[in-house]
Amino acid sequence: MVGQYTYILWLTLFVWVPIILMFSYNRQLFHRYKGTMVYCIRGALLFSIPWDFWAIKTHVWYFPSDRIIGVWFFGLPLEEYFFIVFITLEVSMLTLILIKHFESKL
Amino acid sequence: MNIHQRSLLINIVIVCVVFAVLWFINFGTFSYIASILLFAGAPIVHLWARDRHLLDRHIKVIFWIIISGLVATLICETIALKWGIWGYYSDSVLGIFVGPAIETFFFSTLAFSAIAGATIRMAHIEDHNRNK
């Protein structure tokens, strides 16, 4: 597709663009709960880094070298750190939007 | 030790135990599903054990997060596999594919539920601290 930037392209389309869109329409909401989102990201990193490390080392999944930038930290490609942080942020943001939506219907 | 420090310590212990179990026991074709049940299931059990009533109040939120996660997995994971961004070793997965490997749907259900549950819990604490 776009060679070593393929994973970055996927993150852009499915993670970063939705985050930017959600943020544009709910800035005050996310500012109010920024501690919540930081907490969730911290928890996700705590669980996901060992999990991902184990999965790569024990041959559960793999990342072809021609689809990633090639920068690795502690056994994981850089893009995986982006995946963990920003997918968590995306889900956390959607959760906050849904909480606000359902509470406004009460 | 305050509630946050205790919670962090419990989570660190859970991660260490789960990692040790998975490292030393070979689950073969059940490796992926075992890791999902342990790494994503354990935090959910911890959350529900501690905050069941709070999470029950927001069950509609968690339900829609799961539905969104399943739809997103079907689309995004299929594209990721098609673009060759990542792949699975055949001797570590069950071998049942619905587009993505079936285990990935379990992953998004459990992992997204855990994130939603943690978000609900911390948002409640932030609101409580703000109203003090």
Rounded (5°) CA angle B48-B76-B33: 45
Neighboring chain A residues of B43 at a CB cutoff of 8 Å: 43, 47
Q: Is residue A99 within 8 Å of residue B120, measured between CB atoms?
A: yes
Q: What percent of chain B has pLDDT over 90?
A: 79
Q: How far is A64 from chain B (nearest CA, A)?
A: 6
In the Cβ-directed half-sphere of B104, how many Cα atoms lie within 13 Å? 24
Neighbour tally for A41: CB within 10 Å: 19
Q: What is the pTM of this model?
A: 0.93
Tell me the helices (H) and strands (E) count for chain A, helix number first: 5, 3
Q: How confident is the model at residue A1 (pLDDT cuts 50, 70, 90)?
A: low
Among B73, B89, B57, B105, smallest CA distance to A62 is for: B89
Instruction: Specify the pLDDT at position B2.
Output: 82
Inter-CA distances, B16 with A89, B9, B26, B42, Å: 24, 11, 17, 12
Tokens 């212990």, residue located: B13
How many residues are present in chain B? 132
Q: Is residue A58 within 8 Å of residue B22, measured between CB atoms?
A: yes
Mutate to test the interface with A, among B11, B36, B119 (most CBs of A within 10 A): B119
- Provide ipTM, 2 decimals: 0.93
Task: Dump pLDDT digits (tens) for A30-89.
Answer: 999 999 999 999 999 999 999 999 999 999 999 999 999 999 999 999 999 999 999 999
Among B16-20, B21-25, B118-122, top mean pLDDT goes to B118-122
Q: Rounded mean pLDDT of B20-31?
A: 90
Option in B35, B65, B87 nearest A94 (CB): B65
- How far apart are the C-alpha atoms of B18 and B38, rounded to whole Å? 6
Q: Rounded mean pLDDT of B97-108?
A: 93
- How far apart are the C-alpha atoms of B81 and B83, rounded to whole Å? 5
Among B50, B62, B49, smallest CA distance to B111 is for: B62
